[in-house]
A and B are shown apart, each in its own frame.
Chain A
Amino acid sequence: MKKLTILLLSGLLLTGAGCSDYLDEDTTGLLYGPNVLSTQDGLESALTGAYKGLANQWTYGFLHPSANAAVLGADDVTTHPASNKADWREFDQFNVSTTNQRSNAVYNGCYKAIQGANNVINNYQKTVGTKATIDIIVGEAHFIRAFSYYWLTRFWGNIPLIMAGEYSDDLLTVKKSTPQEVYDLIVADLKVAETNLPNAKRDPGRPNKGSAKAFLADVYLTMAGWPLKQTDKYDLAAAKAKEVIDNAATYGFELLPTFAAVFENDPASPGTKEAVFQISGYLGGSGTANATYGNTTMPGEEGGWDDMFAELNFFRDFPAGPRKDATFRTEFGLGATKIPWQNSLTKHPYYQKWYIKGNIVTSSISLPSVMMRYPHVLTIYAEAKARGTGGPDQAAYDALNKVRLRGRAAGTKALTPGDGLTAAQFADEVVQERAWEFACERTRWFDLVRLEKVEEANAKKSTDDLQPIKPIVKANYWFPLPYTDTSINPNLNQ
């Protein structure tokens, strides 16, 4: 009994009280702290995480039709006048709210990618591993950051310029940076990327040296127009595009022989050689499938969502040929019965471009979001050369003709300097060709903005299409910064 008492009492004293480390936190299994990026595997994992910002289906990035909605202010695509499309209409009607979930998905994703890229860029020097591989990782990180800022500044103009990969309270009061400051970083990043990246893409969903140069050319072209209007950048754009064209084979880029082959949309294929840079989609992962095909551009008659379809005058003016045939869907019905678009519920033609091979009705598929196609590079060269020093040369004509002749009806004549176009007229011809070639590919809106033609293009719309809710002004060229962020950081309202 005595023993028992002693045992009890000593047990009482010993339990817990005796162990000074009883309250120490056990972090077994927790991945945190600066050591995560100290190995090459850690750095590579962080880079993969950075890509996630661009590729998180239905959450943020480009694997669902958010960027597609945000460019609806152009004259190539419109949306349903009623149904559940209020957030899509905001872009077509120039009345974008600070809470629009479509544009905000682009914003959130780009900044998430930037956070991941910053983390790699700021920490790779401490990483132990193979230098050649680390260089590529760093090159991809710079590319992702440039790509993301490029989308951000084109949509929102003045934006927070974040270089930190880790959170600190200072970030809560950061002020907006001007487009000039943002473009300076984009150019610097792409220059690092074009140095570091290999000629061959490590995977279909990653950039190579040619991707970096092509985006740099596109960035210069944009810097030459609104809002910076640094026309000296046309020469830089042309030169950089030429580098890509001259080394297309090295980078694995080519113009496919037919336009239809580009939009075969076969989920069994990793993509085409026209893809300068693509964000790949994979059905089987978590948030990795692509939703920019199928349902979103299909009519209700085919089980689609009527999210986006062709504007009437754009379709009317589109030059006939194999490209028009492969671009539009003009009869609806997955079975034997076909309804011509004029008799359909929305009375508009739709974009065949984003139909999945076999007309599968789904919103999740293993297909890529191609963020730039090789003909884009060809037209950058043609336009930039025309607007730059010396006007268009034969190479500029050749570049335009490649795109033009593939798309237009058989027998269409090539354009030649002998046609008597002025340099400006030639440049306009390129811009128009880009409208046809890249219809519904998130390109037309940016062309209209940099050339300040948004008002002009919208004035030509059919009265049967959605109209701007109020007269378009320059303020409509950019969206208001998302409410989520302006409500946290009041400096963003200044």
Chain B
Amino acid sequence: MKKLLSLCLVLLGLGGGSLLAQNARVTGKVTDQDNAALPGVSILISGTSQGTVTDGEGNYVIQAPGSGTLVFSFIGYESQTVEIGNRSVIDIKLAQGSRSLDELVVVGYGTQKKTDVTGALSVVSTREFSQQPVTRLDQVLQGRAAGVQVTQSNGAPGGDSKVRVRGANSVLGNNDPLYVIDGFVGANYNLLNPNDIESLQVLKDAASTSIYGSRGANGVIIITTKKGSKGIKVSYEGQGSVSNVIKKFDILPAGEFAEIVNARAAATGSNAPFTQAQIDDFKKNGGTDWQDLVYRKGSGQQHQVTVSGGNEKTSFLISGNYVNQKGIVNNSGFKRYVLRTNLRTQINKNLALRLNLSGAKTANHNTDGGGALIEALQWAPTTPAYGSDGQPTFADPIGSVSRSPLDHLYDKSIDTERMNINAIGGLTYQLPINGLSLDLQYAINYLDAQNKNFNGKRLSNNNPNATRYSADQVTLQNTNALNYTRTFGNHSITAVAVLETQQFTDKNFTATANGLRFPQLGYDNIGGNSAATVSSGFSKWTLLSLLGRVNYAFKDKYLVTAAIRRDGSSKFSEDNRNSIFPSVALGWRLSEEEFIKNLNVFSNLKLRGSWGKTGSQAINPYATLSPYNSTQVGFNNTGVTAGVIQGNQGNKNLKWETTTQTDVGIEMEILNGRLHFEADYFNKSTTDLLLNVQLPNYAGGGTQPRNVGEIRNRGFEFAIGGTPIEKGKFSWETNLNFSTLKNEVVSLGGLPRLGTGTGAGGGMSITNEFMLMPGQPLGSYWGLKYLGTFKPDEADIAAKQGRVPGDPHYEDVNGDNAITTDDFQIVGHAFPKLTGGWNNTFTYGGLTLNVFFQGAFDVDKLNYTRAGAMSGSGEARQFLLTEIRDYYREGNTDSDIPAFTKTYQPFTQSSRFVENGSFVRLKNVSLAYNVPSSVFRDKANIRIFASATNLFTITKYSGPDPETSNVGSSTDTAIGIDRGSYPNAKVYTVGLTLGF
């Protein structure tokens, strides 16, 4: 072996350095003073940046020189420094008390001591969310990290969440942060089992994210999954839950509704649809409560089994997770299966291998909300749910022109299935130079996507149809890293150099069959049809990156980090292909200075600042080209002919969107760690903003991506935490974080404004719902300002517009006596300006109570669900909500709810339906009891818990849920529209954890 090593040295032409100290394997268990296992404890080999963390049972394995020293550290505990002294097993008890200063955090392509970190990052400890029943990563992140904004925009089980780190930079692109799981860049968090998370870091400033270059602009969330350790551990966790809708709309009882419909008919010169006898009957027997038919009591279960273990050289962890949830909207649900195996083995003292394998399958069934939730507020309560034939009523003669909520629930299926296989294999090799190691990693990610949609005969106007979409997407990643760590006297250096390639290929088929002859077969056999469209697609992109980073610390006081990444992307034409993303950060640990030490106040005090650039490839492949789309035309009554039609326009001059970010921050700890405080100010500016610029319809319409404009995000982030009470068996630990965000469109490349729409407003909007305007934030609502109704003394103003008192009065901005889009203005903003979370854990012996609040403030929502039920426009012909009782009429002219007239012109796209969307929510309250292990002679641990999610919400918003929106989570130009969005539910969970 020695001979081989010498050969290598010669080969490399490098020598002189002392050979690596002989590493030995050290294992052990870390517990608190009550012998409870401590997961997530950092263990660092003193004087290096190498280390590990304990697993879920507090066990660890590390390769360290027998003469070395290990530093054990964990938030809320005193850190301990232990000399190895050639021992192979070292068990440690940590004392609660001061926060650790030597805790290790994972940064991109490496780890660092938290105290040495110069960038802004948030660590979410598994301890923080272990008290809340979570099935997905977004639930873990929500409210727990300053500067990270999570909105559960679709409340359906398995529904979409919007995660934003320090606001939104891109108009065109996806603003989701970059997820890195075990080094695989661009992972899908939906397919991760949160129980597998060992550590979770959110990188926020450019010094931290520029190492991810062209994909770092939206922040990076780094996740490391758990590993096994010596001995065999088995654990089981089971949960069951029930859920209910948080709130429903107040709808008129049928009899009263009929009277109001008659009153409107009388006022506008039509005959009365309802006779007095019918009204009396409705009053006596009631009508149809469509919301009751749509909602139900949901339920769910989750099971988790983990088996882990290992010997001196090899460790494994196998975990299986099963989630099955039935949503609060009938006929909707979500299932997930995840299986993970993490293996690692030390081949010899220099070479370690690892393999992480994960397979996940998700299945969403009808989790889109929409149809049924909209129609439940548009179908008349006077219309019976079922006809005499036992079928759902086909058409509503009074309310909506669309199909019944029941048909929207049961005459369609939207099934989305994802199967993901992720394999990451790697090796670490200690090169024969002190402190230099090589890490090679290959990752394959295979995603099989199946979308299966079916619309039955009733919903489709006798054209039952089904679509099958099938895609296979493969991502290949290769990461080759050289790491170097050395300490010379007062100087310590950590450096990394990486070559990384990534390639993504998508191959897909879509088949749409219309006029299904056997609709009972749904989407599973679409051969029998009257016309079918078949298409296939292929797309591919590649990314080739070189990157490096150097951390330098002098006397552990003065810290410098510099990083650079060069990314080349196939998405751009040759001239714009490569870009460089640099960053630099400085830190000053004041608490190491004598004059601060002498104050005897701060256990840690650090100032830091950073500057850097990151990018966003906010475009799809082929955006530089202008492809044709397929289409079809019926030239007769028996079939279709396929053709091609011009699609969106490409742009050869596209280039990267670049975000430059400056950050200054302060970290401090006082009272020996009992109270800690962290604050940051950031200023992000995104230039060469990519926009899909709308082209005039006379030129064929569509859009063209262009680099124009600039967006700025600025804000403060605060995290305050501590242990205010710690007396005997009782303790109270609290963490509060909040962040402000000021988002502003600085310029649009000379355009005065640019509209962006969603289609979410189907039938409710007459133009784009959102307007980008310099000086205004993203997500600014565009509409008319509603001034109430025309009052009797305003009859002459009304007459000039051809209206009468009682008609809606909109602000006539240009004074031309006509209400048009020229009178539109910004009537609200959809981004919360302040968000926060407050997490409290009360412990008394084995009892733990967790109380977690979360909130968003200074935000508006456009409530189109309410507009549908209150405007008599689009599909809706009548007014359904109880608020219509107050409509303007003789003797009630103070009302701002419009009168029943022939000149009534509703604009739903107005401030009338913009509502305050601020809220505070008790996100979680849970009580858990750890049965003392002595009960089972230390052979088993049992924990039982009960919890409630979304127990109460304080908000002025009139819809069921201020959080949800039916605009997809990836866009930020159009957010906050609620048009039948699937609301979050109140969830009650009980669970049990067993460990052996």
Residues of A within 8 A of B (CB): 1-2, 4-6, 8-9, 11-12, 15-17, 22-33, 36, 42, 44-52, 55, 80-84, 86, 89-90, 93, 95, 97-101, 104, 107-108, 111-112, 115-116, 119, 159-160, 162, 164, 167, 171-172, 174, 202-206, 267-271, 280-289, 295, 300-301, 303, 305, 343-347, 360-364, 366-368, 464, 466, 469-470, 482-485, 487-489
Contact = CB atoms under 8 A, between A and B. Distances in A.
29 contacts: A2-B8, A4-B351, A8-B429, A16-B499, A17-B499, A17-B544, A28-B538, A28-B540, A31-B627, A48-B631, A48-B642, A49-B645, A50-B643, A80-B270, A95-B802, A99-B820, A162-B699, A167-B626, A267-B637, A283-B515, A284-B514, A286-B640, A344-B271, A346-B271, A361-B395, A366-B634, A464-B269, A484-B697, A489-B696
A28 B395 CA distance: 47
B568 A23 contact: yes
A288 B632 contact: yes
B628 interface: yes
A345 B270 contact: yes
B463 A283 contact: yes
A1 B536 contact: no
B461 interface: yes
Interface in B628-667: 628, 631-646, 649-650
Contacts of B538: 26, 28-30
Given A8-B429, A98-B820, A116-B646, A345 B634 contact: no
B694 interface: yes
B440 interface: yes
B268 A26 contact: no
A48 B694 contact: no
B644 A23 contact: no
Interface in B495-524: 499-501, 512, 514-515
Interface of B: 1, 4-5, 7-8, 11, 264-265, 268-271, 273, 351, 394-395, 397-398, 401, 427, 429, 438, 440, 460-463, 478, 480, 499-501, 512, 514-515, 529-531, 533, 536-542, 544, 568-571, 577, 621-622, 624-628, 631-646, 649-650, 694-701, 704, 755, 766-767, 802, 818-822, 872-877, 900, 902-906
A285 B821 contact: no
Given A86-B904, A107-B697, A31 B628 contact: yes
B250 to A, nearest CB: 22
Nearest to A162: B698
A11 B531 CA distance: 52
Given A81-B269, A484-B696, A5 B8 contact: yes
Interface of A is mostly: loop
Contacts of A31: 627-628, 644
Nearest to A16: B501
Given A2-B8, A15-B480, 18 more contacts: A11-B440, A23-B569, A25-B624, A29-B536, A36-B628, A49-B633, A82-B264, A95-B802, A108-B701, A116-B646, A164-B699, A172-B696, A205-B633, A206-B635, A283-B462, A284-B639, A364-B463, A469-B802
B533 A286 contact: yes
Shortest 5 CB-CB distances between A and B: which pairs?
Answer: A48-B643, A282-B634, A469-B802, A284-B515, A203-B635
B514 A25 contact: no
Contacts of A22: 501, 542, 544, 570
A396 B328 CA distance: 70
Contact of B11 (A6, A101, A280, A287): A6
B478 A15 contact: yes
A469 B644 contact: no
Given A52-B643, A484-B697, A32 B767 contact: no
A456 to B, nearest CB: 21
Given A1-B4, A49-B643, A81 B270 contact: yes
Nearest to B480: A12
Nearest to A289: B463
Contacts of A84: 401, 872-877
Most buried by B among A23, A98, A162: A23
B646 A2 contact: no
A347 B271 contact: yes
A111 B700 contact: yes
A45 B640 contact: no
B642 A45 contact: yes
Contact of B704 (A167, A286, A470, A484): A167
Contacts of A160: 696, 698
A346 B270 contact: yes
Contact of B440 (A12, A287, A345): A12
B5 to A, nearest CB: 8
Q: Which of B570, B632, B905 has the most CB of A within 10 A?
A: B632
A363 B402 CA distance: 10
Given A16-B544, A485-B696, A363 B637 contact: no
A282 B401 contact: no
B270 A23 contact: no
Nearest to B871: A84
A362 B292 CA distance: 28
Contacts of B822: 98
Nearest to B875: A84
B270 A82 contact: yes
B760 to A, nearest CB: 16
Contacts of B906: 86
A45 B643 contact: yes
Contacts of B873: 84, 86
Nearest to B348: A1
A236 to B, nearest CB: 29
B85 to A, nearest CB: 30
A32 B627 contact: yes
Nearest to A37: B644
Most buried by B among A108, A285, A303: A285
Contacts of B704: 167
Contacts of A360: 462
A338 B432 CA distance: 97
Contacts of B645: 49, 52, 112, 116
A49 B646 contact: yes
B646 A115 contact: yes
Contacts of A469: 802, 903
Nearest to B267: A82
Contacts of A108: 697, 701
A36 B372 CA distance: 43
Nearest to A119: B646
Given A84-B873, A99-B821, A346-B270, A485 B698 contact: yes
A23 B542 contact: yes
B643 A30 contact: no
Contact of A15 (B499, B625, B766, B767): B499
Contacts of A93: 802, 903
A284 B463 contact: yes
Nearest to B397: A300
Given A82-B264, A464-B269, A171 B11 contact: no
Contacts of A362: 461-462
Contact of A82 (B642, B643, B902): B902
A52 B631 contact: yes
Contacts of A300: 273, 397-398, 877
Contact of B395 (A6, A95, A286, A303): A303
Contacts of B539: 29
Contacts of B643: 44-52
B210 to A, nearest CB: 20
Contact of A25 (B429, B530, B621, B699): B621
A488 B631 contact: no
A288 B634 contact: yes
A205 B540 contact: no
Contacts of A55: 633-634
Contact of A484 (B269, B427, B633, B694): B694
A279 to B, nearest CB: 9
B639 A301 contact: no
Contacts of B633: 48-49, 51-52, 55, 205, 285, 288
